[in-house]
Amino acid sequence: MNDKIAELRMPDSVTAIVTCGYAIWSGDSVDPATRAKFDETRIPVAGVRHVRIWGVQVDDERELPGRERTQIPDEDIWEINLQAKDGSKYEFDSKLLAPASD
């Protein structure tokens, strides 16, 4: 993990995954065909990436009738890069993952 990522105040759930070095699926929302590409109990973590989606503020009634000012907040997404059984790497939203047990 580089210092720039550490400065961004990584959520505890992401820190736990990175520290462990392995992840598991946190639920059943990932397609079974995709899940089959990865180890069932310990998926190696190849990296982490922070993505910031900038929000917008609309002050024009013509754009959104009935609302003089609408604001959509910024969103921070943490992506975990996982290594598949064949060595290829895929990025997933950290909310889909949990740290693997030792």
75 domain residue, yes or no: no
73 domain residue, yes or no: no
Domain enclosing residue 26, as ranges: 3-50+81-99
Helix (H, G, I), strand (E, B) or coil at 70: strand
pLDDT for 54: 84
Total domains, the chain: 1
pLDDT for 5: 47
**Among 36, 53, 51, 54, which Cα is nearest to 81's?**
51
Question: Rounded to two decimals, what is the model's pTM?
Answer: 0.74
pLDDT for 9: 83
pLDDT for 44: 97
Ranges under pLDDT 70 in the chain: 1-8, 57-70, 102
32 domain residue, yes or no: yes
**Amino acid type, 7:** E
CB atoms within 10 A of CB 96: 14
pLDDT for 31: 94
